[in-house]
Chains A and B, each alone.
Chain A
Amino acid sequence: KQEVTQIPAALSVPEGENLVLNCSFTDSAIYNLQWFRQDPGKGLTSLLLIQSSQREQTSGRLNASLDKSSGRSTLYIAASQPGDSATYLCAVSGQAGTALIFGKGTTLSVSS
């Protein structure tokens, strides 16, 4: 059974810092991996999707990498801003069109 773990569970940084969020999964046979952002009580915003054949994806200040063989992904956030404060969730799917298995998230707080 696929399990997704995110470390750390919470992170507090001052504005301007670069930071890395970690995601690990137990079964390397994934179809794709998605990173989401969730504000308190709100919906899930997809940030980046990495196909199993890809190594990384970039969007603005965000960069996600995938090492499928070791079961790891990282989300790099450059020059953090207070508006980045949210919970970041990592999720994997085993096959096309199947359920996403989520980690419990990393709650990020960026102070000004």
Chain B
Amino acid sequence: AAGVIQSPRHLIKEKRETATLKCYPIPRHDTVYWYQQGPGQDPQFLISFYEKMQSDKGSIPDRFSAQQFSDYHSELNMSSLELGDSALYFCASSFARYEQYFGPGTRLTVT
């Protein structure tokens, strides 16, 4: 069965640089969610999109922005990166707002 695809899987950036993470949801899923998991922490919700419109917003810094495109893939844009942004970033998708299926994550390291 198709799963959520995230790219890249690993990313190394320097402070103050920008990063773009991509998420391709399971086909026919209409909702995409982004979560951030810091080292030793539980996942924290950032933002979600339903049918290409922002549907919910969590603790997403103003330096971050996201959108969902017409083909339902989503991108998380992160600017002015800080050391504290180093984390695993997960994308999840769901159909009709039901069970969330998570991707393998993108490990971002900021040096």
Chain B 79-111 per-residue mask, 1 if CB under 8 angstroms from chain A, else 0: 000000000101010101111111111010000
What CA separation (Å) do A36 and B41 show in the bound complex? 15
A-B contacts, 15 of them at CB < 8 A, read A32-B99, A42-B104, A43-B102, A44-B92, A46-B100, A46-B101, A91-B43, A97-B50, A98-B48, A98-B97, A99-B48, A100-B33, A100-B100, A104-B42, A105-B42
Q: Which residues of B contact A (CB under 8 A)?
A: 31, 33, 35, 41-45, 48, 50, 55-56, 58, 88, 90, 92, 94, 96-105, 107
Shortest A44–chain B CB gap in Å is 4
Contact in complex: B99, A34 (CB < 8 Å) = yes
B contact face: mostly helix, strand, loop, or mixed: strand
Nearest chain A CB to B41 CB, angstrom units? 8
With both chains docked as a complex, state the minimum distance between the C-beta of B47 and any C-beta of chain A, in angstroms.
9
Across the A-B interface, the 9 shortest Cβ-Cβ residue pairs: A97-B97, A99-B45, A96-B97, A44-B102, A102-B42, A43-B104, A49-B99, A104-B42, A43-B105
Determine the chain B residues whose CB is within 8 A of the CB of A100 once the complex forms: 33, 35, 43, 45, 92, 100
A43 in contact with B103 (CB, 8 Å): yes
Given A42-B104, A43-B102, A104-B41, 5 more contacts at CB 8 Å? A32-B98, A42-B105, A43-B103, A89-B42, A99-B33
Q: Which residues of B contact A102 (CB under 8 A)?
A: 42-44
